[in-house]
Amino acid sequence: MIPARPPANEVQRLHLLHDLGILDTGREDRFERIVRVAAYISECPIVAISLVDEHRQWFKAKRGLAVNQTGRSESICGHAIHQLEPLVINDTYLDERFADNPLVTGPPFIRFYAGFPFSLDNEHILGTLCVIDRQPRELDGPCQRALADLAHIVEHELTMTQQNVLDPLTGLLNRRGFKREISEYLNDDLVIEDRYTLLHFDVRQLHQLNHDYGKLAGDQILKTFARCLNDVFDDVGWIGRIEGCEFAALLIQQDADAVDNQLEQLYSRLSQQLSSYRYPFSYTAGLAHFSAVDHTVTLETMLLDASNEVRHYPLPRER
């Protein structure tokens, strides 16, 4: 086994990695989705978003791995962070660097490896999106390009973290991030969609709930609400937590009937997940439809329009 040497910019690279504050954080759907898509595209049983720390590689998201980290000295990702191009090893048995590596000769028995590096500045590589198989194989060009695109999406998500545009409790965009994302989209000259819906959700009784049952109870409500929003609306637009108990979603190309069905799906999901809670819970949903891109529209004016049509959703509780 030939361990990888640290890159020449190792000190600066580690400083950037640690400043992100992402190491040893919990599961996040935004990264889990990338791993699931990578597994589907590559047809590999093992996929991970690996961040290479000083003495370890730590997996922010993973599939097919029983551990959350391994030592850096035996990591193949430690070699991959030396280059911006993908590192593809079709058969580790035929590569002197890895033939006797404990991750090759023992679990998870890596026989094929492809690591797609990601960086925030095209200089300091923080880790890789890697796909792994237990038998030799090759990846064709379209597959490699698709995985490289997914690695760029990892970069985008890390950039969002770096720029403080994510809500730390729910993992959704915060007000700043939501406003920036939708403003960039709606002002893009290449956008051709002409139908938008702004949904504004207000979780009621949160302050009273925090007072009566504690802040952890309120946080649980907010996290569950955010997760259900993601389940229903993630594929059709942007979702954000714009204030303490307020959420918003901008939906793309959804007609009125589709939005009504999605709101019913949300209510059904929340009813299933929160009906057993012993404390009261309800929310409102305001909505406004826009028929064309209007560059004078702002988040504030959209929220104001959404306040003109508000629906109330009290959730049932078990007795």
For 86-123, the pLDDT digits (tens) are: 999 999 999 999 999 999 999 999 999 999 999 999 89
In angstroms, what CA-CA distances link 8 with 78, 82, 206? 13, 9, 51
Residue 260: what are its φ and ψ, rounded to 5°?
A: -60, -45
Q: Give me the helix-helix angle, 29-42 and 141-162, nearest 10°.
A: 170
- The residue type of 179 is K
Q: Does residue 173 register a pLDDT over 50? A: yes
Q: Angle at the Cα of 20 (from 116 to 145), degrees rounded to 5?
A: 15
Q: How far apart are CA 48 and CA 66, in angstroms?
A: 11
- Residue 316, pLDDT score: 66
CB neighbours of residue 305 within 10 Å: 17
Mean pLDDT (whole number) for 265-287: 85
In angstroms, what CA-CA distances link 254 with 48, 225, 309? 34, 21, 17
- Residue 127, pLDDT score: 97
**Quick one: what percent of the chain has pLDDT higher than 70?**
94
Closest CA to 114 of 31, 30, 17, 38: 38
| 8 Å CB contact between 139 and 150 | no
Q: In what order do the strands lie in the sheet with 246-252?
A: 237-241, 246-252, 196-204, 282-290, 310-314
H helix or E strand, kind and range, residue 315: none
Q: Where are the alpha helices (DSSP H) in the chain?
A: 10-20, 29-42, 77-80, 102-105, 141-162, 175-186, 206-213, 215-233, 256-274, 299-306
Q: Does residue 309 register a pLDDT over 80? A: yes
- Residue 192, pLDDT score: 60
| Banded pLDDT at 275 (limits 50, 70, 90) | confident
Q: How far apart are CA 54 and CA 81, in angstroms?
A: 13
The CA-to-CA distance between both ends of the chain, in Å, stands at 63
Residue 309, Ramachandran bin (φ over 0: left; ψ between -120 and 50: alpha; else beta)? beta
| 8 Å CB contact between 256 and 309 | no
Q: Does residue 44 register a pLDDT over 50? A: yes
More confident residue, 182 or 151: 151
